[in-house]
A and B are shown apart, each in its own frame.
Chain A
Amino acid sequence: MVASDGHTARLRLNPETTHRLAVVGLWACAGLALTVLAGIIVLVLAKGLPMLSPSFLLESPERMGRAGGIFPTIVGTVLLTLVALLMATPLGVGTAIYLTEYTQAGRLAKVIRFGVECLAGVPSIIFGLFGFIFFVIYLKMGWSVLSGGLTLAIMVLPTIIRTAEEAIRAVPASYREVSFATGATAWQTVTRVVLPVALPGIMTGVVLSIGRCVGETAAVIFTAGTALRLPLSVFSPTRTMAVHFYILAREGLSMPHAYGTAAVLIIVILMVNTIANMIMVRFRAKVT
């Protein structure tokens, strides 16, 4: 018997063979991706960890960073990230709540969403230039933690809005029905029912944003400056770890110090992610 569709019949593989090919192919993809990522982390830690010591973490740099520690850049990174997220989280989550719970797919919501998507695709150096022109020059804030933090806040805002919006949309509609049917206002529904359920998803966006703030260079080099002094207020200029690493490496000041800084950077990001995960797991165990 010749199959009526002989051409495709000849091309078709045995399902078992297809399955094996798929397993091998997918395994190779995952293996390659993980190797590259692990390779970067291992390389940086291998070169950077020997530099780490209490004095490296707790002392100020000397001779432009060729010697001494990186304490002011750690403080600067933490302060900038803090300012950025304290601004961006309420603003972003508020926008997401408005878009999901208070508008019915109206034109305004579409315009806002389109703007958010465009903003997400803009390279960070553009945010840096904007921050420099607007905060540093026009608002006369100068190179400062505040200028840098506000610039980073604008940069991560789209991420926070999008992840929060998706997390809020994923909350089952039946929860809202129950809440409204009980006589709750929209605000009570948001605060007592929707946000607690959406919180882990919202936190994911915040954690992603922390990572981007901690690792950002282009947006902060123009706005927070490169000063190596310990920042004493939000109006002081500062240098972040990422900028410090960039300057040490680019100007050939000290590769060991550059890798030491990079190692601290990676450890900080790993710690932030781990802590955020632990909080989320605890929270989920509580509500489900």
Chain B
Amino acid sequence: MPSAETPVPSDPKIAIEDLSVSYGDAPALKSVNLPVYANEILGITGPSGSGKTTLLRMINRLNDRVPSCRHEGRILVDGQDIHAPEVDVNDLRRRIGVVFALPTPLPKTVFENVIFGLRIAGVRDHQLLEERAEQALRDAILWDEVKDRLGDSALRLSGGQQQRLCIARALAPHPEIVMLDEPCSGLDPISTLKIEQALQSLKERYTIVLVSHNVQQASRATDRTAFVLMGELVEWQPTAEMFTRPRDTRTADFLEGRFG
């Protein structure tokens, strides 16, 4: 039962319906049903190898590039089946920003990294590019650290800065959804804190999906949490309830650190 302070809007931004995914003979997700609502931070947690990343990669169809990947069921974004033939996969991906587990700066300057998505979308207006770059870097709490180094190679930034740069890169094209896959897995507590702060202010403008096997992070940074175990969506609830009254004993065991 959703609690009163987090009402369930009627139309989810993303609706995952009966989604099963397998790589060759290995199942990765088993009939998952999960809505993601606009302007919330949905946390997806669970032990390593439980299918969290697969779920993200299905939503922006990155798994199209994996030949052995098969799926059944549907994913709707704004009510539209993303695998429908009329959907342009590149349009879909432009609406969904992704931040990967390890910092993945491209071997370009800081500025070119931030505006990469805009360049891909064909934006040429330099003033617009600069505005968007500054805004995205401010949103990712990185502007003050790099504003004098925009022309430097992004590979010279620290790991925590690189990851915030990747967040800025995901934000600059103004996507509707931002998905982050373990964005803090290799980072120190201060960088982690900065990223979590950034997310809190971003949810007013974006729908955010945050994958984390870190239970504390899920409890701090998310509005709603889904718990995935061995390809199965065990339960999903408002985060506060999930952590105080999990419905499933497996959820309770995971949250209390008995495995994973």
A interface residues, Cβ below 8 angstroms from B: 104, 174-175, 177-185, 188, 192-193, 196-197, 287-288
Contact = CB atoms under 8 A, between A and B. Distances in A.
How would you classify the secondary structure of chain A's contact residues: helix, strand, loop or mixed? helix
Given A174-B100, A177-B100, A288-B155, A183 B106 contact: no
B93 A180 contact: yes
A182 B179 CA distance: 12
Contacts of B108: 196, 287
Contact of B120 (A104, A175, A183, A288): A183
A192 B104 contact: no
Nearest to A178: B104
Interface in B73-129: 90-94, 97-98, 100, 102, 104, 106-108, 116-117, 119-121
A181 B67 CA distance: 17
Contacts of B116: 178-179, 182, 192
Q: Which of B102, B107, B166 has the most CB of A within 10 A?
A: B107
Given A178-B100, A288-B155, A184 B107 contact: no
B153 interface: yes
B106 A178 contact: yes
B62 interface: yes
A180 B117 CA distance: 10
Contact of A288 (B60, B92, B107, B119): B107
Contacts of A175: 104, 106-107
A174 B102 CA distance: 9
Interface in B43-80: 60, 62, 65, 67
Nearest to A193: B106
Nearest to A104: B67
B160 interface: no
Contact of A185 (B90, B153, B166): B90
Interface residues of B, number: 27
Interface of B: 60, 62, 65, 67, 90-94, 97-98, 100, 102, 104, 106-108, 116-117, 119-121, 153, 155, 166, 169, 173
11 contacts: A175-B104, A178-B100, A179-B106, A179-B120, A181-B100, A182-B94, A182-B173, A183-B117, A184-B90, A196-B107, A197-B107
Q: Which of B93, B120, B121 has the most CB of A within 10 A?
A: B120
Contacts of B98: 181-182
Nearest to B95: A183
Nearest to B119: A192
Contacts of A179: 106, 116, 120
B98 to A, nearest CB: 4
A178 B105 CA distance: 9
B244 to A, nearest CB: 35
Nearest to A182: B117
Given A104-B67, A287-B153, A288-B153, A183 B104 contact: no
A177 B94 contact: no
A262 B113 CA distance: 49
A195 B203 CA distance: 36
Contacts of B155: 288
